[in-house]
Structure 1
C-alpha cells in the first residue's frame, strides 16, 4: 500500500502545473523565468524543523531560574548558619521553594532536597540559638 503524497508541494507535477499557470499570466517588465526560478527555489529549499538538542546553551527549553535559586538558597542558608542572621535563613527557605516550584521532572532531586534541608536547618538553628523574634535588617539604622 502506497502513501498518498498528493499534498506535498515539492512534487514535480505540482511545480510544473504552477509554472504552467505562471506562464499564462503576464508579469509587467519582469520575465516569467525569474519568477519561475524563484518559486522553484522556494519549493526545493523547504527544510524540516529540527528542535535544538538539550545540551546546547541558550536552548529555548532551558530555564536557569531553578539553578540560580538553588545556589542563592545555599548561599543564604550558609550565611544564616554562620552569621546567625535569621532573615538570611528565611530568604534561603524562600529561594528553595522557588527552586522547587520551577524544577522539571528530570532535574536533580538530591541537590534540591539538600538545599531544602540546609535552609530548614538554618532557620531552626538560628531560632534555637536566639529564640527572640526576628528584627528586620533595616531596623538597626
Structure 2
C-alpha cells in the first residue's frame, strides 16, 4: 500500500465485533443511507439486508445468485451499490448479496470483495480495539 493512501481509523466499542459506519448510495434513485456495517474477513462477498436494499431501490446485477456460508448455501440476488466504508469519502462499486439473514443490528456486511481492495489491520491496546483501513487505488473519491 502506498504511503500516501487515505486511511480510515476507528476505535471499536467491542473487541468481539468489528462494526463501523458505512454510507450506501444508489446514484440512479439518488437514495442513500448511513448505517452500521460488520467487517467480515470470512465472507467472500459483501451482503446487504433486504430492507436496506429495498429502501435504496438498488438495481439487480445478478437475479439468481448462490453463496456458500457457514450455515450452508443461500440463494438471492446480487445488487449494485456504491459503498463508502467509514463514511469518509472513499467509494467503490460493489455487487452485494441481498440477505435477510444478517444480524439484527447490522444492515451491511463488508466482505473480502471490499476488504481486499485495501489494507485492513486490527490492533488491541489497553483493552481497546482499533481498526485501520488504508484505501487502495480501486477506491475513488466521492463527495458526500
Report the TM-score range of the alignment, normalised by the length of the smaller protein: under 0.3
Calculate the TM-score normalised by the size of structure 2: 0.19
The structure with the greater share of residues assigned to strand is: 2
Question: Which structure carries more relative contact order (alpha carbon 8 Å, separation 6+)?
Answer: 2
Calculate the TM-score normalised by the size of structure 1: 0.19
